[in-house]
Amino acid sequence: MNCQEFWNAPPRQGRNVTPEQASHVAACAACAAQWECHRSLGAGLRSLAEELRRVEAPPRVEAGVIAAFRSQARSQVRHSGLSWWTPVFAWASTAAAMTALAFFLLRTVPSTTVKPGTVAAPHRTAQPSVQWAALETPAAADADLDEDSAGLGDGFIRLPNATRIEPNEDVNVVRVEVTGSAMIAMGLPVSEDRASETLLADVALGPDGMARAVRFVNDSGTF
Amino acid sequence: MVQYPLETDDDLFFRLRKGDEQAFAALYRRRQGAIYRFAMHMSGSPSAAEDITQEVFLALLRGECGYDRERGTLSGYLFGIARKLVLRNLERGRSDVALEGDEDDAVPRELAVTDDPLAGLTRHETIEALRRAVQALPRRYREVVVLCDLEELDYADAAVALGCPIGTVRSRMHRARALLLEKLNQERKPRLSVEAWKPMRCAV
């Protein structure tokens, strides 16, 4: 080992000197003297480090960071509280939005307030051209889907589980465009091959805003 | 209070990230002194050192905390944050104390001090002389001396903190030591020359 190699990687303070470094220091007086200075400097630096070890941040710094930690922990609790009900809230909001959208779509035709027994579609010129499954199946005899049971007559079919419209009740009739599949979902007798088609229908809404009965209008908007 | 004497820094770190206040307090108490002293040495200002220490530990709480144990120790990571904050503090010119000899680009010439400048000094004198000499070092040499000599960081951790290769840390250490010896010698020579004067009787 020569002087250059020795000083390229001098021994670290407080670490053992390798045999090569020791033999070089033993052989080279200049490096030995300089190395002695470095050792003395290292010892002095260790003394300084020991002296400084007592220096610490004031207690107010700890108080500050602990307060910040607690504040963050509280906010995380709030966030974690949010985390489980946020999806529920999101789903509920989405469902509400879908309902509102459906309601908006259902109201594409201005509603008219009619009295029972006086319902008359403005374009009632012909029988519906829809091929009702109800006419082909025994379900047509189902009381829930009976025209007469709706209490309105004029081709209205009472919706399943809907209350009958009493003679003195005010009803709103709205004309809507609705898919056949939606009607099937509501339990109305629409043939499956027309499930994807858009149908015109008049929906009778009770005073509470709930749909009570429906009647189908043919594709041209007339019975 | 729950104590964590055997827990590593990493254990405490992962606990605190899960919201364990005791782990956070234990880690703070374990590391705050070194961070505060480093900030103090580098900024020269106790108030800046307080702010920096606080910011370093608050950084651990943030969601985007970038500590990765694969890159180095938590200690090196904390010093790295502290160093960045010190640099930001110096750039803003908020340091209360003007830093001497911060010509970082000046490469010191190779020095070969063979007279021990600390020989004959008392422990107190040695400490005071070294404190002044360290404070007078250019920043890039001061930071390696503070990290590796005063805070006894490994070169690897120091390299993480400084964001440079280990070889650079080693070479800076070598130059920093040489500079320290030179500054100590410069300080000692006037003292020796004054001591060399002997009282003489006035001939007039």
A–B CB contacts, 8 A cutoff, strictly below: 104
Share of chain A above pLDDT 70, in %: 63
Query: Helix count (H) and strand count (E) of chain B?
Result: 8, 0
Each residue of B138-160: pLDDT tens digit? 999 999 999 999 998 989 999 99
Taking residues A99-118, what's their average pLDDT? Answer: 57
At A127 the pLDDT is 44
Share of chain A above pLDDT 90, in %: 5
Closest CA to B79 of B37, B18, B132, B136: B37
| Sign of the alpha-carbon torsion through A39, A45, A51, A56 | negative
Contact list, B145 vs chain A (CB under 8 Å):
45
Mean pLDDT of chain B, nearest integer: 81
Residue B187, min C-alpha distance to chain A (Å): 14
Q: Which residues of A have a CB under 8 Å from any CB of B?
A: 7, 9-10, 13, 30, 33-34, 36-38, 40-49, 51-53, 55-58, 60-62, 64-66, 68-70, 72-73, 76
Kindly state the tokens that stand for B9: 């820094």
Residue A75, CA distances (Å) to A56, A172, B170 in order: 30, 50, 44
Determine which of A21, A53, A61 to mutate to test the interface with B (most B C-beta atoms within 10 Å).
A61
Top-confidence residue, A31 or B99: A31
Bridge partners, residue A202, by sequence: A175, A215
Residue B204, min C-alpha distance to chain A (Å): 45
Taking residues B29-33, what's their average pLDDT? Answer: 93
Judged by CB atoms closer than 8 Å, whether chains meet at B114 and A40 is answered as no
Instruction: Give the C-alpha separation, B171 to B160, whole Å.
Output: 15
Contact list, A11 vs chain B (CB under 8 Å):
none
Q: In chain B, what are the domains?
A: 9-92 (1.10.1740.10), 104-187 (1.10.10.10)
**pTM of the predicted protein model:** 0.58
Instruction: Give the C-alpha separation, A189 to A191, whole Å.
Output: 7
At B114 the pLDDT is 60
**Please, is A179 exposed, middle or buried when counting C-beta atoms within 10 Å of its C-beta (0-12, 13-18, 19+)?**
middle
Contact between B83 and B91 under an 8 Å Cβ cutoff? The reply is no
Task: For helices B46-61 and B74-92, give the axis angle rounded to 10 degrees.
Answer: 130
Closest CA to A42 of B100, B135, B149: B149
Assign A140 a pLDDT band (cuts: 50, 70, 90): very low
- Compute and round to an integer the Cα radius of gyration of chain A: 44
Domain boundaries, chain A: 3-52, 62-106, 111-217
For the ranges A47-56, A64-73, A198-207, the lowest mean pLDDT is seen at A198-207
Closest CA to B58 of B87, B84, B24: B24
At B18 the pLDDT is 85
With b for 16 or more beta-carbon neighbours within 10 A and e for fewer, the B163-185 pattern comes to eeeeebbbebbbbbbbbbbbbbb
Instruction: Give the C-alpha separation, B46 to B36, whole Å.
Output: 9
B123 touches chain A (CB under 8 A): yes
Assign B31 a pLDDT band (cuts: 50, 70, 90): very high
B27 touches chain A (CB under 8 A): no
